[in-house]
Structure 1
Amino acid sequence: MFDFKDKIIVVTGGETGIGRATVESFARAGGSVIIAGFLEDEGDDVVSSLAKENLKVEFVKTDVQNEAMIEDVTARIVAKYGRIDVLVNNASIFDGFAGVNETSAALWDKVLNTNLRGTFLMSRAVLKNMMPRGTGTIVNVASVGGIVGGADGLAYTASKFGVIGLTRQMACDLTAKGIKVNAVCPGMIQTEMRKHSTRILADDAPPMRGVGVNPDALKRVPAGSKGQPDDISNAIMFAASPYSGYMNGHSLVVDGGWTIQ
């Protein structure tokens, strides 16, 4: 269905979970995919796994909290490939459902700096290439936790509400310039985000509550089960494709019906 042949796609956090599924989908659709990721072992695993399918994917170590590193990484990608056609801002860390009294300033800073500031910095860097060409697509991975309260912890919720606001304002600024900006909002998806977040947050990690399938939580979801990473990668592919050409500044919810109630 989707054809990304000859397209250059950058996926932040593309080494695990939703990001990995997204990288695999774009690569199998013919795209040249660069993982801008933090976890090197996982990134190398994606590259070697897809190499067995004769698909070329590159991993570039990137900390989306680091402005200088982002500028360097994007410049090197453009120097090598000539352009960036699609940016997927997927890099995120979770806060373990920490409430206001459980959220340290360090946890707040790392979650907001990764999920929201990182999305802004990466978009701004890539737009230096997209805007002079008058074409490009940005897809931001937000969350159901950016639409309703009570889905996640304080910092994560604030960050994802921010990503949706960022998406809308960027679309207002950029649509007339030929650049499409949308968001995808996953609901409960089966990933190892809590484990990877604990590793990235290190000493600032809170207890990661909610590991596994919580029957009470699933009562919120008419589908009755968690979604899979491919459910979100399919939505990201749609948002990045010509099929969504008239969709701008939109937050596409993929949550098994959670938020329809």
Structure 2
Amino acid sequence: MTAGDGTTVAPARTALVTGASRGIGRAVAVGLAAAGLDVALLARDAGRLDETAAEVGRLGPQAGRAVVVTADVTDVQAVDAAVASAVAELGCIDLLVNNAGRVDAEVPLWEADPDQWWSVLETNVRGPFLLSRAVVPGMLARGGGRVVDLNSGAGSHDSTGASAYNASKTALLRLGTNMHRSGHALGLRTFEVAPGVVQTDMTASMAMHAGRTEWTPVERTVEMVVAIAGGGLDAFSGSFVRVTHDSPESLRAALDEAARSGQDVPGQDGRRLRVTRWGEGDPMPGELPRR
């Protein structure tokens, strides 16, 4: 797809998915392989990763292949080694999916355990930072690539309790848009994808979801990430999408409508974290003053 700056980024042929041993990460990794991508599976538990790789192996000859790399996403040396191993196996990484994450206790900030609180920030923010830092230079050297952060409504909405998760997902959203602004002209495309409330081990552990009977199908997230990998949604780089409301079809329809009406691509402001105006005379939001 050709972006507004004229840069065309080829569809992804390879991917690296963190937290690929279970839950959303496993489903996304298998879905990408089913779409024909070769996928590096990253997590700490090699045994569970082998199970994901075996599931990929059962997809058939048209699917991509899976390779297993283990690392704690907060350990810079382990991350660098895992990425180097993935590149050695796959040749390159065209798509990075930062999925690994944790949630803290659902208590007010003043009741939070400091060590647990900081550990959540390390996994949810330091982890994607280290992976992106290790993977993006190779993407840019080849003319571009894509980064998907598995974000959350906690990154875009006010929340109560679990303040580390709330803060980490907001920070992650900022990291993604920062990379978009810094790297878009170089071919980097970034996306913040919120999967809704998927039935996973993490959501099962949360009191706020006790008794829940309606869940967001994980297939919606898989569908969105596969569409991003193909390049058809590159115009939404830097934006926040939530699969409970958005689909590849609805986003493509919005692009088509914008093209017909000669308008800007939708979502460039409305799907980003920013201050809203109090009224027409309010200068916020606006560009930061030059310094």
1:213 pairs with one of 190, 211, 214: 211
Aligned to 1:239: 228
Q: Relative to 1, partners in 2 of residues 1:18 and 1:152: Cα closer, same or farther, differing over 3 Å?
A: farther
Within the alignment, does 1:49 sit opposite 2:49 as a pair? Answer: no
Structure 2 counterpart of 1:107, from 110, 116, 120: 116
- The reply to whether residue 177 of structure 1 matches residue 195 of structure 2 is no
- SS in structure 1 of the partner of residue 111 of structure 2: coil
TM-score with structure 2 length normalisation? 0.75
Question: Does the aligned pair in 2 maintain the 1:15–1:46 contact within 8 Å?
Answer: yes
Q: Please say if residues 182 and 251 of structure 1, whose CA atoms lie closer than 8 Å, have aligned partners that are also in contact.
A: yes
Letter in 2 for 1:8: T
CA drift of 1:16 comes to 1.1
1:16 is aligned to 22
Mapped pair 1:76 → 2:74: no
Aligned to 1:123: 132
* Distance change >3 Å, CA 234–CA 128, structure 1 → 2: same
CA separation in 2, counterparts of 1:251 and 1:243? 16
Runs of 4+ in 1 over 6 A off after TM superposition: none
Q: Which runs of 5+ in 2 are unaligned?
A: 1-9, 247-291
The secondary structure found in structure 2 opposite 1:171 is helix
Paired residues of 1:37 and 1:62 also in contact (CA < 8 A)? yes
AA paired with 1:149? D
Q: Tell me if the contact between 2:109 and 2:161 (Cα under 8 Å) persists in the aligned partners.
A: no
User: SS of 1:183's equivalent?
Assistant: strand
Aligned-pair CA distance for 1:194: 4.9
SS in 2 for 1:96: coil
Amino acid at match of 1:234: E
> Paired residue for 1:254?
243
CA RMSD of aligned residues (A): 2.1
**Could you tell me whether the CA contact under 8 Å between 1:96 and 1:194 is conserved in 2?**
no
Report the Cα offset of residue 6 of structure 1: 7.6
Q: Deviations over 1:69-100 (max 9, x none)?
A: 11111112222222111000111011132320
Deviations 1:34-59 (A, max 9, x none): 11112233212111222222352122
Q: Render the CA deviation track for 1:110-161: whole Å, top value 9, x for unaligned.
A: 1111111111110010012112112111111110111112266100000000
Change (3 A) 1:98 1:237: farther
**Distance in 2 between residues matched to 1:164 and 1:6, nearest whole Å:** 22
Counterpart of 2:109 in structure 1: which amino acid? V
Which of the two has higher C-alpha Rg?
A: 2
How many angstroms does 1:212 deviate by? 4.0
Check whether the contact 2:69–2:85 (CA below 8 A) recurs between aligned residues. Answer: no
- How far apart, in 2, do the equivalents of 1:129 and 1:158 lie? 29
- One-letter amino acid matched to 1:240: A
Post-superposition shift, 1:208? Answer: 4.5
When residues 59 and 107 of structure 1 are mapped into structure 2, their CA distance, relative to the original with a 3 A threshold, is same
SS at match of 2:235: coil
1:201 aligned residue: none
TM-score of the superposition, structure 1-length normalised? 0.83
